[in-house]
Structures are given as structure tokens and as C-alpha cells.
Amino acid sequence: MQLYNNLSAKERAELIEKAGKERLTISFYKYAKIGNTQLFRNHMFLAWDDLDVLGRIYVAHEGINAQLSVPADNFDAFKTHLDTITFLENVRLNIAIEHDNYAFLKLKVKVRDKIVADGLNDNTFDVTDKGVHVEAEKFNELIEDPNTVLVDMRNHYESEIGHFKNAITPDVDTFRESLDLIEEDLREHKEDKKLVMYCTGGIRCEKASAYYKHKGFKQVYQLEGGIINYVRQVEEKGLENKFIGKNFVFDQRRSERISDDVIAQCHQCGEPADMHTNCANEACHLLFIQCDACKEKMENCCSTTCMEINRLPQEEQKALRKGQGNSNDIFKKGRADHLPFKKDLRNIFETIGKKS
């Protein structure tokens, strides 16, 4: 019984190319109480491996978080399987605006402590006691209300390339940093302000909405299905699009363009740009924004040092990496000191003060 992926990314890519069939990029999540997480994980892997599903899936006692690539021909069978699982019946599936047959090249189903890392040790709040979910039309109305505080629950490198107009975009590297920061900053407005949140697909907002309700906020809302679902509803219903720029996604595509606005800049030359890339030097692999001109000039690297290393024969590069971990810069997500046009740090306290 095969319970783990046994093909390399290259081998999988070759199979996808040979098959020549369209694949759909899909994401979904569900907070639920799962008892035997390992048994559930194995069941999902076996069922999805048979359907040629690829992706990154996290299973925990609090639920499931999945980002997948499914052959279009197998979509109905995939949906049928989900519906056989009680808590996943009719679960919302966020289907990507743009598809890429190579978005995922392996099937990874992992058991984790939580499906969203939050750094919380507070077991007294119920993650299923969530805020009010609103669709795109209601969301547009809410964010025009002067008594609304709109908060982007994503990280700085996501909101840097695209966000909703007038949204507060916390300068944080992780979701866990946002929770206490926002709670502290809006402490005086728990009664009188409407706290409206959004994220990529809704999973972070749902946990945050339960947390903030637990902390005493009286009016908590979240965008149903996140940015992905919002864009689909805007197009289907002919609504005004209030999102500017691109939506960061966690697969090989890295982003989906929502509007023609380019609101970010190349971290190396400062020219308008909003395409993230990973430094080609495997010992660095820093995620940063790079324009086409710098990409060619710097050979897809973030610095001249990395460029020189990347030019070495693979065996020499491996020898240099031996016994070494990735550079600490990898965790800075575009804010490494050697990038002259990295995103400036902003003060969330000042930003919220202007909205209050």
C-alpha cells in the first residue's frame, strides 16, 4: 500500500506533459474536529492518489487545509469523494482564476498540530464560533462604511503586490504576529467598530474571527471564500472590483492578476514590478520581487554574491552548502538588507489611528 509520493517533480512534470490534459487548481479548508488524524490522512492520500490529485494538504485535529491540482476529467469523482465525508460535504471549493498544469508536482498530505500556525496556546476559544461570512456585494458595502476597519490578514509580502483599497496591511511576516497586534491596536473599538477581515481563501480570517469574538469584539466579519471567491463573484455579478494589483498564491504561479495596477516595485532597481521570484542560488532561495530587466542582469539572483555562487558547477555548489542551512535571509521574504528597494516598514498603529 503506497502512502507517500514516490515520483520526483521532474518525473511528474513529464507525465503531465505526456498526458496533455487540463488540470484545475483548487483550494479549500474546513475547521472540524478530527479524531485520528493519521488514519484520516492515509484515507485522503489513497483516494486522491488514485485520482491523480497533486498538492499540499495539512490535516490536524482542528480540520483540513488543502491546495490542490486536479485533472479536469477527474473533478466530478474528486467532488463525489469529498461529499462522502460528512464534514466536507458541499465544502466550498475555491477554483483558481488562472490555471497552471504544473502548479503542484507532488501529492503531500501531512499531519500537523494546526492547519494554520497561530502561535496560540489558548484552548478556551472555539475556532468554529466564527464571525459573520459576507459575500462580495455585502463586503463592498461594508468597506465603504465609515465605522468599518478593514484588515488584511495576510503577510507583508502578499499585500505588497495587491490588496483592497483603504485596507490596513500589517507589516508582519507571519499570521501569528497579526493576531495580538491587531487586537491590541483596536482594543478601544471592540464595541463601536465593525472589524472586517480578508485573506487569500478565508482560512486565516475564519480562525481570526473566532479569536477576536473570543476577545470581546462585537461586530466581526470576514470575506467569504477570500480574495479568490471575491474576484469570481465580481466577474459573475458585474460588481465593482475594489481589489488593486495581484493576489499572492502559494503554488508555482505565485500570483494571479486581479487588476492592471502595479503597486509594488522591483527590490533591486525600484522600477514598478510585482512578480515574486526565488533567488536561483539554492543556498539562499530568498523570495523577492524582481523585474524582467534585473532578472536578466542578475541571472535570477538576489545579489552578485549569489550570482557568482550560482555560476559554479553543481558539485562545487553542493560542497559549499554541505553542513549549512539556508541563509537567514530566506525568512525575510524580500526584506533582506542587501535589497535597496525592499518594502519599507510601516507602523500599523499609525495606520489604524487614521482610520479610527
Active site positions, annotated: 199
Half-sphere exposure of 108 (CA within 13 A, CB side): 12
| Residue 295 contacts residue 277 (beta carbons within 8 Å) | yes
DSSP calls for 328-344: GGGGGSS--TT-TTPPP
What residues does 244 pair with on adjacent strands?
163
Half-sphere exposure of 198 (CA within 13 A, CB side): 32
Proportion of the chain in helix, strand, coil states, percent, rounded to 5: 35, 20, 45
Evaluated on CA atoms 155, 158, 161, 167, the torsion sign reads negative
| Residue 145 contacts residue 166 (beta carbons within 8 Å) | no
Q: DSSP letter at 308? A: H
